[in-house]
Every structure is written in C-alpha cells, then in structure tokens.
Structure 1
C-alpha cells in the first residue's frame, strides 16, 4: 500500500482538527446556552421553592393563616394560589372546630350541671318515694285492720239487731200477756162483785129467815140455827169477795203499771232497733268503704313501688349519663387543648 505525501497528511489532519474544533465549539456553545438558560430559569424556581418552604414551615408550626405573599413566576402562581386557598380553607375549618369545641365545652358543662341537679332531685325523689311507700304500707296495714274490725263490728251490730228484734217480739208478747191479764183481772173483779152482791143478798135472806124462825118459836129453832150459819157464811163470802176485789184492784194497778213500763220498754226497743239498724247500715257502709280503701291503697302501694323502682333505675341512668358527660367534657377539653396549638389568624 502506498503512503500519501506528508503535506497531504498534514492537510487532512488539519482539516479533521478543524472539524473537531468546529464540533467542540458548537457543543460548547450549546452547553453555554443551556447553562445560561438554566441559570436564568433557576431563579424563579428557587424563589418558588423558598416561598413554599417558608409557608410550609409556618403551617407546620401551627400557623394555619400562613400565606405565600411573594409574587412568583406565572408558572408557579397557580401553586401559590392553591396553597393560599388550601391554607384559608384549613384555617376556616380549624376556626369552626375551635368554635364548635368551645360550644361543646359550654354545652357539656351545662348538661353536666343539669344532670347533677336532676340526679340530686332524682335521689331526693327516690328517698321521698321510699318513705312514701313505707308510709303507704303502714297505712294499708292500718286500713286493712280497720276493714277487718269494721267487718267484725258489722257482724256484732247485725247480731245486736237480731237480739233487739227478738227482744221487741218478746216485749210485744209481754204487753199482750199483760193486757190479757188486765182483762182477766177486770173479769174477776166483776165476778167478785157479783159474789159480793150474792153474799149480801144471802145475808139479807138469812136475816129474814132468822126473823121468821124466831116467830115460829120452838118449831123454827132448827131453821134459825141454819139461817144463822148461812148468814155467817154469807158474811165470810162477802169479806172474801172484798179481799179478792182489793187484791185484784192492786194487781190491776200493778198490771197497768207493768203494761205501761213494758210498753215504754217496747218503744225503747223499737228506737234501739231503729238505731241499731242505722248503725248496722253505717257500719256496713264503713266496712265496704274500708275494703275499697284497702284495695285502692294496695293499688297505690303497687304503683308507688313501681315508681320507686323506675326512679331508682333513672338514678342509675343519670349516674351513667354523668359519667358519659364527664368523659365528653374531658374529650372536649383535650380537643380544645389540641386545637389551641394552631393559629387561625382570627
């Protein structure tokens, strides 16, 4: 293979070097343009990064009102606007959370106070109901005992009424018997009057017979003795009739007085019977009313006991409510403490 001349070789080398130099120049020119362009572009980017970093640092420190106020390049302005809008929304939300937290604290405090008051009142009501239930128990027992006594008294009054009615019948029979005795005494008195009249007439006849026997002399002596005996018998009959009449008169007076007394006793028994009837009616009404009261008090006692149980359950529920309210209050305080770390700019 033949070599080219040396001068030609140098020319070719120079031409090649010139081409390399041109390429290097072009490359350096392009790189320089890029470096200059990057340097020119990095200033707004750096500015945007610094502004964002500062705003994020404020936001991380709890300042929710942090804003990017530095003017940025147009290509980064939407980032600034979005950040500022997000910061405003976050600040608004946090402000609402703070306000609602304060409201929750106030409401829970009022609820807790109201629950405490209601719990105390419920406890007082439970104690009062317990005392009321005990009093109603005693009253129910007393009314039940009174009802039993009223029933017993009603039975006793009914027995007394029957006895009074029987006594009234006996008194009426006694009055009737006394009246019959008075009638019999009156009849006997009339009979003794007749006997006395007969004795008087017999005495007159005997006296006349004695006079006639005396006139007859010895023949009428025996007849005179008989007439004398008849006269003596007539006198004794008359005396006996008078004594019987006196006894009958005294007996009639006593019978009349007895009839009056028995009549008064009968009237008194009638009054007693009427009074006992009224008493029996009233006692029966009292017994019925006592039974109804006992039944009503038993129902009231049952209702009060049920109300006492419900009140006890309400008291337990209020205790649970107080505990839940206390927990809610603690959570609200903790939430307020947590939100106090943020600044909203309001």
Structure 2
C-alpha cells in the first residue's frame, strides 16, 4: 500500500488490535534512532522476535520476560537470563516478581545449555493454580509440594528461590528465607544456569533483578525489584564524620508511584547499615520490606519516600 497525501510532520505513533482480535507488536529500537544514543549501555530496552516474545532490560537493574500463552508444555529455551546479565554463578538465591494465571516454571541447571540432566524444576501455581512442586527432572515426580492458590493473573506477586548447602528452597515474598513453602535437600551439583517459562494454557511475565554485587553471602537486606527500577536523583546532606574508612551521610530516596528506586551513595564501596531519619510518605517505610541497601546503594519500594542515614565504607 502507498498513500502520498501527507502534508505534516509525524511526532507520535501508537499501536492497537481490535474488532474481536488481540495480538502482539514487536517494535525494534534502532541503535541509530537518536544522536545521543549509546549502544554500549546495557540499560537500553531491547526487543526481538525470537519465539514471538519480547524481552526488556530496565536500566540495567532488572530483566522483564513476557512469556506467551502456551497451550502445551513450557519452553525454557526462549530466554537465557545468563546471557542478559544475570550472574547466576555468583549468587545462591534470587527474588523475583511474576504475574500469570497458572504454571510459572523455573529451571535450575548445572549446564546452562542442558535442559534434561542435572536440573531442578520448580512449578509455582500448577494444576490450575492449586499446587506447587519441586522436582529433579522436567515433568518428573514431585519431591515436595505446596497446596494453595498463589499466582495472580491481575497483579505481580513476589517469590524467591535459593540453592545452597544441598538444598533448594522456594518461598513467597521478596525477602529470601521468609515465608518458605517448599524445600528439597538432594542437590549435589553446582547451579550455572536458570530459565523461566509459563505453559499449560497460561502466559505470564517475570521481572528478575540484576544484583550489583551478586554473591553467595546473601544478607537479609535483599531488595525488591520491579520493572521500572532506576537510579534516582539524590539529595545528599553530608554529615561526614568518619572512623578510618567508615563514613556517614544523609540521603533522600523516593519510591514514586510505588516503583522500586535505587539511590547511589557517592564514594561508597559498601554499606554497613541504613536507618530511616524522616518518613515523607503516607506509605510505610519498613526496613527490608520497603527500604534497604545492597552493595553501594540504598533502595526504596512500595511508595516509601524518606530521608535516610547511611553508614558506609569508602
């Protein structure tokens, strides 16, 4: 088709389906679309047509995987978080968000390219969202299970998985170790890969954090992440007293629109602790739930806005 009557500039574009049909658009973001674009930045959102799905990396802080509705089994090959920046061999746990009606699947792998040998499969909300299981092969017999409806097709929910000391654990919520629902202690190999998928009549979305200092020394300050996480502008008030390399600073950090936000601590190599000095939001600011720290930054979530005293090592 062609029409040659355009006599004005184009400054916007929108997409939709209708009239009894839904559908998916996959829209490339050209690396030449902006004179200020730096193609070396990992924070750019990317899209691709592989398996008819889309993937987005938000500001280098999290991965978003949109899994299409599958009438049959899962497809673990459609995404590879390790290729997208998740350093799986430096961590032993992971908290993530997911939204879907049923059958969220996670596969831990000894070999990132082997989907059948030395794997641990976790099903969250299987069997029409009535049962969750851990098994040591795809579609294998359950090694442990949990009964209950835990997924939601209308809102994101937090879950975590961990693998250490021979045990694989699964729990609800954003704090690793809290609200555990399943455990299997037969793991006798290293985990070097992880995959995500939906299946059996359900599609869904995973939001997976990219930790800035992933390590097996996981602390209770493990933070929530979400699909819009980014470094915010901070208001630094330096109450800078120091003991050797330990320093103190006051920083403003706001979770606007209930979105996860990271606030860097200038000059910090690591953070020892963070305390709420002043809450400026109606939403509660609660340590390890709606604010905390990780590596050399603090984070806020769930609408928490406040001023924080930070003790850090420079």
What band does the TM-score fall into relative to the shorter chain?
A: under 0.3
| TM-score (norm. length: structure 1) | 0.13
Structure having the larger proportion of residues in helix = 1
Larger Rg: 1
Structure scoring higher RCO (CA < 8 A, sep ≥ 6) equals: 1
| TM-score (norm. length: structure 2) | 0.14
Structure having the larger proportion of residues in strand = 2
